[in-house]
Amino acid sequence: IAGITQAPTSQILAAGRRMTLRCTQDMRHNAMYWYRQDLGLGLRLIHYSNTAGTTGKGEVPDGYSVSRANTDDFPLTLASAVPSQTSVYFCASSDSSVVTDTQYFGPGTRLTVL
């Protein structure tokens, strides 16, 4: 059982380039989330999806977009990367959209924008 997989593991990207971070889960969870984690700050929610076909904005959505075409996949796209988007990105999922449900995290993508 893989749980949640993310790709790539790490990436160095030139500013202005477009980049898609991939996230796939095999737990048939309804809800999925994208977070960024920066040193000294808590996890910050970028976008979320309560169920396939729906998405919503989190705390820091600017510069990012997501789609949820099916239950398993939840890609995050940076349309034109900027250095402030250098961070570790975690994808997570939970059985339902009730926030009291435990969230399960992928291994993360370390992104550096130069």
Partner 1 sequence: GQNIDQPTEMTATEGAIVQINCTYQTSGFNGLFWYQQHAGEAPTFLSYNVLDGLEEKGRFSSFLSRSKGYSYLLLKELQMKDSASYLCAVTDSNYQLIWGAGTKLIIKP
Q: Which of residues 12-41 bind partner 1 (CB under 8 A)?
A: 40-41
Nearer to partner 1, 26 or 79 (CB): 26
Give which of 13, 24, 2, 17 is closest to 73, Cα–Cα. Answer: 24
Judged by CB under 8 A, the number of residues near partner 1 is 17
Q: Which residues pair with 13 in a beta bridge?
A: 113
Q: What is the DSSP string of 50-72?
A: SSTT--EE-SS-TTEEE--SSSS
Residue 112 CB, shortest distance to partner 1, in Å, is 15
| 98 is a contact residue toward partner 1 (CB under 8 A) | yes
Nearer to partner 1, 45 or 52 (CB): 45
